[in-house]
Amino acid sequence: MYYLFFSTIVSLFALLVSVGTLLELKQLWWPSTASEPSKPGMGRSLLLGFSGYTNSVRLLDTTARRPEMIPCLDGIRFWSMTWVVVLHTYGYGTSLPLWADMARNDVYPEVRPKSGTYGSN
């Protein structure tokens, strides 16, 4: 049940990112032929907020915005993001056997495999 809920949420988010990115790339590659560019509507602005293209460029941007900005903070930001990604990957990989043990021991009966499937008792 929880698997279906979370996979639906992740799928919707991936759909928003895909549509936003495609919409932005369409604007960049095939600009409007109108003499005056129109202001995007609320829905279009919402979708452009999920654009993977712009968000990745902003996230990975390391140009100094102000002269008083400390350059080493970019390195700290990089190592912080790397640390989070690596440890989450490790944590999810090592917790899978724990979830299987909990399902077999009826700690979480909703996670238990159905009878006749791999890992059922």
Q: Is the pTM of this model over 0.75?
A: no
Tens-digit pLDDT profile for residues 31-87:
777 666 667 788 888 888 999 998 888 877 777 677 777 777 777 888 998 999 998
What is the average pLDDT across 13-23?
93
Report CA-CA distances (Å) from 94 to 82, 89, 98, 99, 110. Answer: 18, 9, 8, 10, 21
| Residue after which a domain boundary falls, among 12, 43, 61 | 61
Question: Looking at the 3D structure of the chain, how many domains does it have?
Answer: 2
Note whether 67 and 33 are within 8 A (CB).
Answer: no
Distance CA 25, CA 1 (A): 36
| Residue after which a domain boundary falls, among 15, 41, 61 | 61
Q: Are residues 96 and 79 located together in one domain of the fold?
A: yes
CA atoms within 13 A on the CB side of 121: 9
Q: Are residues 7 and 40 located together in one domain of the fold?
A: yes
Report CA-CA distances (Å) from 75 to 28, 56, 57, 80. Answer: 31, 17, 16, 8
Q: Are residues 30 and 18 located together in one domain of the fold?
A: yes
Q: Which domain holds residue 112?
A: 64-121
Q: Are residues 40 and 68 located together in one domain of the fold?
A: no
Q: Are residues 14 and 29 located together in one domain of the fold?
A: yes
Q: Are residues 99 and 116 located together in one domain of the fold?
A: yes
Distance CA 77, CA 72 (A): 9
Q: Are residues 85 and 120 located together in one domain of the fold?
A: yes
Q: Are residues 95 and 120 located together in one domain of the fold?
A: yes
